[in-house]
Amino acid sequence: MSREAIGGSVWTRRGLAAMGVFGLVFLTVPLVIVIPMSFSSARALTFPPPSLSLRWYETFFGDPRWMEAMWTSTFVAAISSLAALVLGGLAAYGLRRGTFKGRDWAEGNFMAPLIVPTIIVAIALYLALAKVGLLGSLLGLVVAHTLLNVPLVMMVLGVAIREFDQRIEQVAWSLGASWSYAMRKVVLPNLAPSVFAAWIFAFIGSFDEVIVTSFIAGKYETVPKKMFNELVLEVNPTITAVATLLIAFTVLALAAVAFVLGRAGKLKETVV
Amino acid sequence: MTRSSGFSFIAPLLVLMVVAFNAPIVYMLGLAFWEKGRGFTLEHYEGLAEAPVYLRVLGNTMRIALIATLANIVIGYPLAHWMRGLGSRGRMIAIALVVLPFWVSILVRTYAWIVVLGNGGIVNRALQWSGLTDAPVSFLYNELGVTIGMANVLLPFLVLPLFAAMIRIDDRLLQAAASLGAPPRTIFWKVYFPLTLPALAAGALLVFILCLGFYVTPAILGGGRVPMISNLLDTLINQIPRWEQASAISTILLIVTLLIFAAYRRLDRKASA
């Protein structure tokens, strides 16, 4: 009904549809174009590719520096996403269920890395890590990635915990379950789909992080850092293959999240 | 006990945040206002006001942020409005197409514009084929490219909350206006648009804040010719080490960001109320 109420004439509606489609095209076309370009045989980025080949993928997988960057990225993302999941998950639970004073303040502080420009976090960490001699250390990198991804975890799990009926936990306690038993057997199984989503988001967040990493990683190369450094210098078609792999990785990860949340009937709340 | 107050749940994260986030930022603020052996000083700020290069970069940043935000509104509002009118299946597809780019690495999305807008890219090919231009148009390594790239990267930040606010608007409100004889144009401007305005303003402020601190896109699509605040900060830290000056600029950027964010929070509460 509303479509008719404010849609106006056929032309207005067609105009709106054209603008909407334009918006979606503007968002997605660059990503769609990158994929065929990564199979180009040419060095120049000419569209359409003159002929197809896998040479840029061979260059990528055959380069030990890219492989090492891939390993570092995976390692840092694995550790920091788990740390963010555990610390952020516990904190989200404490903030939703707790009654202590200063909860708003604490939550604001935990969410701050999302609002404070990343370049400022990068500079502050650079200066502080240089001061304590941890600049260019894996520890510094993992800790930085952890705190950058805590807000994502807290957003996803905060909603899930708020929607999980607290009385179910209280029943478990009243039946004599210890706190940790109730957590393992009642709370976590119910939150499992959201926990999975939060973990994937934190993993992607860490795997793609470029600004803080470029400032504090020192001699360590991650995939985004290496990609960024190469892009600033010159456009190398190997990047097109890396970009395609990253798009494929993101699509698969999000599809897994959508599948798990969809099966639990929680897709809507988490997305919008 | 833990169950009653819950503080122990947040304690581990709180410790990490204080040590690895709050303390470094306070340390940075300290550097901006401190001179060895002399204590508190505003000297680093005086240096900023005197050098025209800083003001030029600041002007650049503000202009690009403003244009990118306006582009976001012009593209994002019709998109969100159109999505509201789609059927549930169409909506899911549209949401997926907005959410997916949001999660793809910003480097990939920025790089993609080099592929699309370059001299041999699809846009220039289309322009030349259609006869609109003879020579390729240079979109890259200038302000235009940076603005296009930033508008693209930030569009989901505007569209998603705006769409969420739009689907909360009760259809019956619009039907009531229609049944009272209001033409569609009047319903849109007098009923629908005012209801979406807080969400639009909140989204626009969020996009503007994110623009101010943008680093990757200007560095790549600007090719070093379109410096924004973040790129200047990079230079002051990594190339000509002037840490105090970098700290002073960061402090200003932080304060401006937090002020705009406070305005955003007020609007956002209004939008979701």
| The listed CATH number (1.10.3720.10, 3.30.379.10, 3.10.105.10, 3.90.1150.10) that belongs to domain A57-271 | 1.10.3720.10
Which residues 36-75 of A are in CB contact (within 8 Å) with B? 37, 44-47
- Position A20 pLDDT exceeds 60: yes
Q: Within this chain, do residues B130 and B93 fall inside the same structural domain, yes or no?
A: yes
- Interface residue A100 vs chain B (CB under 8 A): yes
What pLDDT was estimated at residue A1?
43
Chain A partners within 8 Å of B175 (Cβ) = 1-2, 5
Angle at A139 between CA A138 and CA A140, to 5 degrees: 90
Domain residue spans of chain A: 2-38, 57-271
Q: Within this chain, do residues B202 and B251 fall inside the same structural domain, yes or no?
A: yes
Chain A partners within 8 Å of B22 (Cβ) = 109
Say which residue, A165 or A27, is predicted with more confidence: A27
Q: Within this chain, do residues B37 and B56 fall inside the same structural domain, yes or no?
A: no
Q: Write phi, then psi, for B167 (nearest 5 degrees).
A: -75, -10
Q: Answer whether residue B250 is part of any domain.
A: yes
- Interface residue B144 vs chain A (CB under 8 A): no
Residues of chain A with pLDDT > 90, as a percent, come to: 61
Q: Looking at the 3D structure of chain B, how many domains does it have?
A: 2
Give the span between the Cα atoms of B119 and B101, in whole angstroms: 24
- Position A268 pLDDT exceeds 70: no
Does A124 sit within 8 Å of B10, measured CB to CB? no
CB-facing half-sphere around the CA of B174: CA atoms within 13 A: 24
Does B13 sit within 8 Å of A28, measured CB to CB? no
Stated pTM of the model: 0.90
In angstroms, the Cα distances linking A50 to A38, A41, A234, B120, B181 are 12, 7, 21, 12, 60
- Position A2 pLDDT exceeds 50: no
**Both tokens assigned to A54:** 């896998």
Q: Tokens 């993992």 sit at which residue?
A: A142
Q: Within this chain, do residues B256 and B139 fall inside the same structural domain, yes or no?
A: yes
Q: Within this chain, do residues B169 and B213 fall inside the same structural domain, yes or no?
A: yes
Q: Tokens 């840490």 sit at which residue?
A: B243
**Quick one: DSSP state of residue A52?**
B
Asked whether the CA dihedral A85, A87, A92, A94 is positive or negative, the reply is positive
Secondary structure in 3-state letters for A87-123: HHHHHHHHHHHCCCCCHHHHHHHHHHHHHCCHHHHHH
The full DSSP string for A205-240 is HHHH--HHHHHH-TT---HHHHHHHHHHH---THHH
Cα-Cα-Cα-Cα dihedral of A30, A36, A37, A40, to 10°?
Answer: 180
**Both tokens assigned to B188:** 């849109």
What pLDDT was estimated at residue A167?
85
Q: Within this chain, do residues B33 and B96 fall inside the same structural domain, yes or no?
A: no
**A208: nearest CB among B76, B105, B233:** B105
The mean pLDDT value for A80-101 works out to 93
**Model confidence pLDDT, tens digit, residues A131-174:** 999 999 999 999 999 999 999 999 999 988 988 888 888 888 88
**A254: nearest CB among B16, B98, B100:** B100
Confidence of residue A6 (pLDDT cuts 50, 70, 90): low
Give the span between the Cα atoms of B236 and B256, in whole angstroms: 20
- Chain B: closest CA distance from residue A2 (Å): 5
Residues of chain A with pLDDT > 70, as a percent, come to: 95
ipTM score of complex: 0.88
Q: Within this chain, do residues B13 and B142 fall inside the same structural domain, yes or no?
A: no
Chain B partners within 8 Å of A215 (Cβ) = 237-238
**Both tokens assigned to B91:** 């909506």
Which residues 4-63 of B are in CB contact (within 8 Å) with A? 4-10, 12-14, 16-17, 20-25, 27-28, 31
Q: Answer whether residue B46 is part of any domain.
A: no
Nearest in space to B148 (alpha carbons), one of B64, B226, B205, B216: B64
The mean pLDDT value for A50-67 works out to 91
| Domain harbouring B227, CATH code | 1.10.3720.10
Parts of chain B with a pLDDT under 50: 1-3
How distant is the alpha carbon of residue A243 from its chain centre?
16
Chain A partners within 8 Å of B178 (Cβ) = 4-5
Nearest in space to A200 (alpha carbons), one of A267, A259, A254, A155: A254
Q: Can you give the residue range of the structural domain that contains B190?
A: 52-272
Which residues 131-150 of A are in CB contact (within 8 Å) with B? 131, 143-144, 146-147, 150
Q: Within this chain, do residues B56 and B174 fall inside the same structural domain, yes or no?
A: yes
- Chain A: closest CA distance from residue B137 (Å): 15
Task: List residues bridging with B34 in a β-sheet.
Answer: B40
What pLDDT was estimated at residue A88?
96
